[in-house]
Structure 1
């Protein structure tokens, strides 16, 4: 428990204190956000706001994770190192995307093919390493193999895991359209993963998932880093996370679900991100097939803005929705635990 608290405290402090430095440096160098011209008109005033705050998020998360393993007797695990590496590599992909946007002073960075290729290769490498190096099994389940599971086999699981990481990464990226939305919503999800990881650790004979304490440390490290970022990203935002942050956050969410064997529960715990992604899919499908838009603008948070809702109203209501999804996920997990008829702690 001490290692978890240390991880959260260090990541929070690092992110909180690095963020003002980034804001100052990026402002001086003109490293500002490029706003899409077809977006809500109210967003045009945000043009030039410093971006790439995801650098501090990743730095805080990594240093928080390392601090938890300092002199506390906690050993590094392959699962934890894989998750940290995944965050760094996907964050680097987002950094390249952000850098090109800033250099070319446009809202488009890497080409779609280039960006997806990098995400796919990183996710594929993670999936292969997770199975062959970290020995993550090839079943997918809600919370434990004995309750409900689907055996995919090695190839099937690697394909599935790759899609989960890429999908989760892009889902958070799509959600990052309002001040504080992606960061605040992600905090709920990572905090829940931290709780579930510690619970699995204390009840190892039931869940039989190794290294979940280290995965809880990764989760809390991300919570602290995101909280430090949110202090400066709350409306009106002083800095944006950029793709540097959103791609890393989403990929880490997907990676956590996979190594903790909570694959199917991710759909609930990340319910808001699922809705945001489905809104984009529905909009594109409807327009291409029926030549009509189902929303005034996608993702759905922009639709609510164009209905006349103030940005803070949209933000808080979607935060509430994200919290409800994570509460539902916790409820599903705990209900299954109660069905075992045991409260014996390890």
Structure 2
């Protein structure tokens, strides 16, 4: 059984790998001219970010994989979460590559992304339903470890969870250090749960993810030297979703990942409101841009969202009892 000391070592190894990879990957992205384009309707303070290298999520993915593979704790569960992370990261990479390297603004079409996401989600759902001793059950928060059996609804439910989570994390990635910092905290939560619930391989993976996000923040914190792009945000979403699925904790994602949920919900509300009434509820969506346009500095928004996530993860730990 992996212990807390081993978990900290795993986090440290992944952290240092990310620190080493940063100065290697960023110049390569600069040579490829993989610069981020900025929305003209967005906050004016973001205009100076135009041209900042993106696709930096490669740093996170590489650090996680190197650390995880070298841990010596490979098993089927670990292969599943690694596959999900890589597969979603690959979808994001293709989209980024088309947009920023080939200079085609549209990238992948929405339906192409959705098809890929659904196929990956179905694979994870089928695996968990057949392999897990809990089958199609999911843990209900705050109900003293009571489980709900979804039966035939399990697979469509998991597909919804995976697609919603990956796209929510993608929407969260809009400010320097926001998605990486929030995911760092969320993955720390899942690593602690995995450690105490007898999922050593998942604990290693989450520890590696935590360390990789922490190392990436060295280059992604304000002012960012590199952005993770869809490569990183999609990979992070796939990682968090698959980890929660394998531990039957999908209902905890809206709790500990409340910031993801709020970001996605703000977009949905904005779109519905504008189509029905012609009016916008928020100054701009996703939610982090609303606060920016309310006068908050970017760093303040990020720190507040990190703090909220930390509080939500503490609530999540209480919800496990």
TM-score range, shorter chain: over 0.9
Secondary structure of the corresponding residue to residue 138 of structure 2: strand
In the alignment, the residues of structure 2 paired with residue 119 and residue 101 of structure 1 have an alpha-carbon distance, to the nearest angstrom, of: 19
State the Cα RMSD in Å.
Answer: 1.7
In the alignment, the residues of structure 1 paired with residue 52 and residue 133 of structure 2 have an alpha-carbon distance, to the nearest angstrom, of: 43
Secondary structure of the corresponding residue to residue 251 of structure 2: coil
In the alignment, the residues of structure 1 paired with residue 87 and residue 214 of structure 2 have an alpha-carbon distance, to the nearest angstrom, of: 22
Matching of residue 261 in structure 1 with residue 259 in structure 2: no
Give the structure 1 partner of residue 69 of structure 2: 66
In the alignment, the residues of structure 1 paired with residue 282 and residue 216 of structure 2 have an alpha-carbon distance, to the nearest angstrom, of: 30
Deviations 1:65-99 (A, max 9, x none): 11211xxxx4x221111001100010000000100
Deviations 1:93-142 (A, max 9, x none): 00001001113436542111111111111111222223235565101113
5 Å matches for 1:21-36? Answer: 21-36=24-39
Deviations 1:242-266 (A, max 9, x none): 0001011011111111111112122
Matching of residue 47 in structure 1 with residue 47 in structure 2: no
- 1:307 aligned residue (271, 289, 294): 294
Q: Which structure 1 residue ranges, 5 or more long, are not aligned?
A: 202-211, 337-346
In the alignment, the residues of structure 2 paired with residue 190 and residue 147 of structure 1 have an alpha-carbon distance, to the nearest angstrom, of: 21
**Deviation of 1:36 (Å):** 2.0
Secondary structure of the corresponding residue to residue 148 of structure 2: strand
Give the structure 1 partner of residue 186 of structure 2: 189
- 2:109 aligned residue (104, 108, 111): 111
For the 8 Å contact 2:142–2:318, the answer to whether it is kept is no
* TM-score of the superposed pair, with normalisation by structure 1: 0.88
Matching of residue 82 in structure 1 with residue 74 in structure 2: no
In the alignment, the residues of structure 2 paired with residue 223 and residue 267 of structure 1 have an alpha-carbon distance, to the nearest angstrom, of: 19
Matching of residue 328 in structure 1 with residue 315 in structure 2: yes
Q: Which structure 2 residue ranges, 5 or more long, are not aligned?
A: none
- 2:203 aligned residue (204, 216, 221): 216
For the 8 Å contact 1:35–1:107, the answer to whether it is kept is no
In the alignment, the residues of structure 2 paired with residue 11 and residue 301 of structure 1 have an alpha-carbon distance, to the nearest angstrom, of: 28
- 2:129 aligned residue (112, 128, 131): 131
Give the structure 1 partner of residue 281 of structure 2: 294
Matching of residue 236 in structure 1 with residue 223 in structure 2: yes
For the 8 Å contact 1:55–1:244, the answer to whether it is kept is yes
Instruction: Report the structure number with the largest CA radius of gyration.
Output: 1
Give the structure 2 partner of residue 166 of structure 1: 163
